[in-house]
Amino acid sequence: MTPYTRAADYAAAVLIFLQDNILLKEPLRPEHIKPRLLGHWGSCPGITMVYSALNSLIRQRGTDILLVTGPGHGAPAVHANLWLEGTHEDHDPALARTGAGLQELARRYSAPDGFPSHVSPAVPGTLHEGGELGYALATAFGAAWDAPDRIVACIVGDGEAETGPTAGAWHSTKYLDPVTSGAVLPVLHLNGYKIASPTLFATMTDEELTDLFRGYGWDPRVVDVTGDPPGDLLAAAVLEAHDTIRDLQHRARAGDVPARPAWPMIVLRSLKGQGAPAEVGGTAIEGTFHAHQVPLPDAREDPEQLEALESWLRSYRPQELFDEEGRPVAAVLAGVPGRDGRIGAQAAANGGRLRRPLPLPALEPHAVDLSKGPGSALASPTRVLGGWLTDLMTATEARRDFRIVSPDELASNRLDAVLAASGRAYCWPVEEYAEDLSPSGRVMEVLSEHNCQGWLQGYLLTGRHGLFPTYEAFAAIVDSMANQHAKWLKTSGEIDWRDPVSSLTYLLSSEGWRQEHNGYSHQGPGFINNLLNRKNTVTGVYLPPDANTLLVTMERLLDETGKINAVVAGKHDAAQWLELDAARAHCQAGASEWAWAGHCDDGPPEAVIACAGGIPTVESLAAADLLRRDLPDARIRFVNIVDLCALAPPDRHPHGLSDERFRHLFGDRTPVVLDFHGYPSAVHQLLHGRPHPDRFHVRGYIEEGTTTTPYDLLALNGTTRHDLAIALLSHLGRHAGRRRQLAERYARHRDELRRELRRTGVDPAEITEWTWPA
């Protein structure tokens, strides 16, 4: 071991175990041990090996290295290396490279208001938390896109490698253009065990591993440091891999692009918890799963474990590594790159500092013309948006800082116009028929939502911009990844030295109400509920009712930072409602009255019909039209909600309408029938805290679905125009004589329509061709 790696391993162990006597200047006593031991020693030595090898590369080649660490609970090793290189001290002088600084770092590690046991946004040089395994490799590739000089090293733990997201991410090289992008150098760290079981990859032979990764398209190199090999095998392998990467890039940029570029990767074999005691109290530790977390958990109470801990820590010979004040000696600092090359100081790991606002195109050339009034034009909202995104792709061609990731759904979601400005990224040769493929394309399509999410997170966190269109029902595949990213953004916003990054925006098209042909499996609006459960300062949900409001919403969100948003929009041709100026005002308000659709000019409303979402807007307008015609003296207000979080009280969400504005729209005790795009529970959750929330009667998706027609799917969930009109009638007490008669008539007509559509297999023209009367 070099002095640097000994010092890093020693410091990592100190963070886990010690609260005092951190340089072992006196015999170790129980009171020197932390009362609560947290952390994962098992992966720490391997992380330090990689960190040290990368430092050696940086010193020899001057390469900027961004490091993504998959084994998140190996944070003690990350902190130890950041402390040794001085990056921690840059951000907080209390963490200086002295004995006092190391003791303060140990005090904060896994302590209240300190650093968690995994890496987090508070840790310099990081852009991946590792709080959930499986996402490091895809994130690393996202960081490499469109950064031609950047090499992203990625440590993948062998337990992490068993996850589905990691398995899919190995294919990312097929999208990595050696001309316009950087490279990813994965280090698959095999130390044999998960928490209590052997890992799959560690039980494979070297031949099996190399066959597997060659099949993926990699050029693997196995480095085994489980013994005591002469020289630094890992540093040599990293240097060789770097030179291979640079040679491949140089040739490609000179016009010699290989058909199937085989990028280097490293398979590192080491002992679990290498350096820990071999055995204590009859239990084997080093090289077993007993080294995974805290190898000597009872060192404070058990004299045998205390003695073993002291012997272990002294085996690093700290007196040779630190001076009297606890400063690393010259031999240790020789392993640290120059100030500008330190891994923890990489600018891309604080991507908000690199972010430039997008050159957003004007909306006017793309807006739908509604000069003849609401409902006077038909358009596909996402197709209209696709035209605007095409201009944005063109405007960012030279900058190369905007990408679209999608699970093979761009054309299906009517966004394929963007392919005129940038092709589908793909680098390997394709013999079969294919369209619009380009190695330098900035549209990423892969049937892995996990890859899309990881790629985009890495891209945004390193200072760029992007959009994630996907089928609404399948956004839930990345629920957990969205949760982790939302937590990262929330915590980042509380750290003064982190600059905000671009918001992550999901465009959920092919929404459930128009997935009747694909059936029940494609009908699921639950991603909205997931986002609403996240911290309100970093999340938003938008349901633009037409193309112009979608344009305005997307213009806003692609200019925004520090958020994670879901936008639900339709892709089919449908009636459009608001001119561009009206759409701007409506989106600015979050929710507003559409006076042209209501009929309560002569006094306060008897009831309010409200809606959120494209299909709910159509059905609510049709219900309002029924009642205007059949009950013209009823006073009904029509309200459309485009920013769902506007419903929340302002003290619970920053988008919440003021109490005055909320009362203006919905009254104090006025009954409200609200037709919502998703599960009614989402709206009830937001309305909690508003006056008399029980007056809101929310209709929405109630988990009733099948393969049927659009109108029948609405009927199954009680959200047709006829159901909404019947619900409104029940709250118009002044019209008792007429309301029962009308309700029965609407119910009969609804049932007749359902019988007819079962006979014909399609919805009748009175449903499909309805629009707002001129």
Q: What are 124-140's pLDDT values in tens digits?
A: 999 998 778 899 999 99
Q: Could you tell me if 337 and 382 lie in one domain?
A: no
Sign of CA dihedral 227, 232, 235, 241: negative
Residue 682 carries which side chain, given as an amino acid letter?
A: A
Segment 268-295 mean pLDDT:
94
Q: Could you tell me if 628 and 742 lie in one domain?
A: yes
Q: Is 640's pLDDT higher than 60?
A: yes
Is 581 a domain residue?
A: no
What whole-number distance in Å separates Cα of residue 94 and Cα of residue 117? 20
What whole-number distance in Å separates Cα of residue 339 and Cα of residue 147? 22
**Domain CATH for 57:** 3.40.50.970
Q: Could you tell me if 512 and 384 lie in one domain?
A: yes
Summarize pLDDT for 18-46 with one digit per residue, the tens: 999 999 999 999 999 999 999 899 999 99
Is 359 a domain residue?
A: no
Q: Could you tell me if 368 and 339 lie in one domain?
A: no
Q: Could you tell me if 25 and 109 lie in one domain?
A: yes
Q: Could you tell me if 410 and 266 lie in one domain?
A: no
Summarize pLDDT for 315-352 with one digit per residue, the tens: 999 999 999 999 999 999 999 999 999 999 999 999 99
Of 399, 173, 179, nearest to 264 by C-alpha is 173
Q: Could you tell me if 633 and 743 lie in one domain?
A: yes
What whole-number distance in Å separates Cα of residue 61 and Cα of residue 149? 13
Is 585 a domain residue?
A: no
Q: Could you tell me if 79 and 197 lie in one domain?
A: yes
What pLDDT does residue 482 have? 95
Q: Could you tell me if 336 and 458 lie in one domain?
A: no
Helix, strand, coil in percent for the chain, rounding step 5: 45, 15, 40
Is 355 a domain residue?
A: no
Q: Could you tell me if 424 and 520 lie in one domain?
A: yes
Segment 381-389 mean pLDDT:
98
Element (H, E) at 82: helix 75-85
Q: Which residues contact 18 (CB under 8 A, 6 or more apart)?
A: 32, 33, 34, 106
Sign of CA dihedral 241, 247, 251, 252: positive
CA max distance for the chain: 96
Radius of gyration of the chain (CA): 30
Domain count for the chain: 3
**Which domain does 75 fall in, by range?**
3-347
Is 579 a domain residue?
A: no
Is 437 a domain residue?
A: yes
Burial readout 370-390 (b: 16 or more C-beta within 10 A, e: otherwise): beeebbbbebbbbbbbbbbbb
User: Of 247-251, 479-483, 550-554, 733-737, which gets the smallest average pLDDT?
Assistant: 733-737
**Domain CATH for 704:** 3.40.50.920
Is 356 a domain residue?
A: no
Segment 157-167 mean pLDDT:
94
Q: Could you tell me if 121 and 42 lie in one domain?
A: yes
Is 14 a domain residue?
A: yes
Q: Could you tell me if 568 and 701 lie in one domain?
A: no
- Can you tell me which residue has the tokens 């990764």? 213
